[in-house]
Amino acid sequence: MNWTRVLVVAGTSLVAGTLALAGPAQADSSRPLAPMAPTTPATRAASGSTTPTPAPCPSGQTPTTLPATAPSTPPTPGTASATIRHSCALVPIQAPDRPPLAPEHVVGGTKLATAGVVTDLPAGVPLPPWSPAMSYVVADLATGEIIAAKNPHALARPASTLKTLTALVALPKLDPRQVVIATDDDVAADGSRVGLVAGNPYTVEDLFNGLFLVSGNDAAYAIARAYGGRAQLLSDMNTTAAHLGAWDTVAKDPSGLDVDGQFSSAYDLALIGRAGMQLESFRLHAAMVKSTFPGAKDSTGKVLPAFAVENNNPIIDKYRGVIGIKSGFTQAARNTFIGAVKRGDRSLIITSVGSVERQTDSIMALLDWGFAHADQARAVGWLVAPGTAPPPAEWTTVGPGATLSGSDATTAEPSTGSGTGPSPAEPTVLPATSADSQTDATALRWLNTTGGRVSGIAAALGAAGVLGGWLARRSRRRSRSGTYQR
């Protein structure tokens, strides 16, 4: 029996970390899920004892049993490695306008129409290690071949990983030198904040540093105003998602804070992350470890000094070869993650959604497995090229669009200094055709896929290959962060 599906321990059916049950799909750095009941010693299968009855799970979660530790190999029933503990697992979001799809309509291939772990491995190649995530995708960043996935199209809350779509759309349109004046609305953002001070000027580059490194929701809202307003940005985010083939994604808040009707999937986040890594400016922000955020004056005139900010990507300084990109967390979404790693001639992208445990170790274990066995693992699906995946036939109401949450700034904030404001247009993104190099001429050819409707985007696009090794690093100190999201 494939242990990644079901393991019987002490008479209990253990869904081994799938946490993504069959059926339509829910929903920074890593945070653990609080246990269902006060911590008690795990029950060993061989002991014959019983575990305490767990407390009920919150709405949107379901009871599950987990290994006492995150094993890299199947535990043997009746041994110490088979001890279990009770927890609450996220269940996929069930959206009324997203009925189940026929396998032939699933974006990326029929094998991705699964609620469990899917691989295609020759004899002798081990299964991927256990993961506490509700869903994940491991794929080759260059070719788009998916070598392992778990419930890849389950609808889930993306948390701050949605900021990658915000950046993918806004970075090519905004001059990094453009100055944006922070407002009270920006400063009042829920959750994690980089620390904008109302009435003070910040460059677009500063704002994207705050967005990527410390997941600043205040920075996300300031970027939206610079773009032309939250409504315009969200509209273009949803248009871009549709162009990518990310039909599981609906964006309603550029920060990724939880909003009813906002969701994505591990598959879609891989599409978005892969597209983002085509842009040089995106790669630089996503791989930056530290930076200095400018000081300001508060309402009393007191001068606040500049301070350092550090990237809260949980593996950026722990795993060799990390080149981006973004983590996320909310109480409803739990831990979410997109990562890109380059070792030698191979680059992998990994997404992890709805992790009920600290995800750092499990993500690194999946990456270890991917780099060790990518040459032998056969593709179970593909990250599709932009413009090639029509909306699923069963989803007759899907399409670009957004409903706003909170206040909406419909016009760009007047700015000073160099740079110009955006002109609303459909954004263009590039498919990854090489992990190492691609000429600007090739990039320009891809602009023609949308008729060149984005003015100035060509200048923002760097060579499409993923940068090898560590990218630009500048010294900075950690910012304050909120309690709702990072």
Residue 333 predicted with pLDDT over 70 = yes
- Examine the pLDDT at 103 and tell me if it is beyond 80: yes
Question: How many helices (H) and strands (E) are present in the chain, helices listed first?
Answer: 10, 17
User: Does position 429 have pLDDT exceeding 90, yes or no?
Assistant: no
**Peptide bond just before 325 cis, omega within 30 deg:** yes
- Of residues 428 and 379, which shows the higher confidence score? 379
Q: Are 283 and 273 in contact (CB under 8 A)?
A: no
Of 72 and 234, the one with more pLDDT: 234
Q: Residue 89: its pLDDT value, please? A: 77
CATH topology of domain 159-387+400-460: Beta-lactamase (3.40.710)
Question: Which of 312, 436, 320 lies closest to 368 in space, CA to CA?
Answer: 320
Residue entry with tokens 């949605």? 162
pLDDT tens track for 239-293: 999 999 999 999 999 999 999 999 999 999 999 999 999 999 999 999 999 999 9
Q: What is the pLDDT of residue 69?
A: 56
- Quick: pLDDT tens for 130-172: 999 999 999 999 999 999 999 999 999 999 999 999 999 999 9
Marked catalytic residue, from 150, 163, 252, 342: 163
187 pLDDT band, cuts 50/70/90, is very high
In the chain, the percentage of residues whose pLDDT exceeds 70 is: 66
Helix (H, G, I), strand (E, B) or coil at 322: strand
- With residue 335 as reference, give the H or E element that holds it: strand 334-343
Q: Name the more confident of 428 and 97.
A: 97
215 is an active site residue: yes
Q: What is the pLDDT of residues 24-77, one digit of tens each?
A: 333 344 444 444 333 333 333 333 444 455 567 777 777 776 666 555 444 444
Catalytic status, residue 297:
no
Q: Which of 29, 30, 131, 160 is catalytic?
A: 160
Q: Report how far residue 220's alpha carbon sits from residue 190's, in angstroms, rounded to the nearest whole number.
A: 11
Report d(CA 156, CA 248) in Å as an integer: 9
Q: What is the mean pLDDT of residues 318-335?
A: 95
pLDDT at 94: 86
Average pLDDT over residues 411-431: 33
Poorest-confidence range of 68-77, 365-374, 410-419? Answer: 410-419
Q: How far is CA 25 from the centre of its chain?
A: 16
Reading the block at residue 380, the tokens are 């179970």
Amino acid residing at 6: V
What integer is the mean pLDDT of 79-105? 78
- pTM, two decimals, is 0.73
pLDDT number for residue 398: 65
Is the sign of the CA dihedral 128, 353, 155, 323 positive or negative? negative
User: What proportion of the chain, given as a percentage, has pLDDT over 90?
Assistant: 59
Rounded CA separation 332/329 (Å): 8
Q: Is 111 noted as a catalytic residue in this protein?
A: no
Q: Which of 215, 235, 415, 479 is catalytic?
A: 215
pLDDT at 403 over 50: no
pLDDT per position as a tens digit, 447-477: 233 333 333 333 333 333 333 333 333 333 3
Assess contact for 361 and 70: CB atoms under 8 A. yes
Average pLDDT, the chain: 76
pLDDT exceeds cutoff 70 at 116: yes
Per-residue pLDDT for 318 more than 80? yes
Domain boundaries, the chain: 159-387+400-460
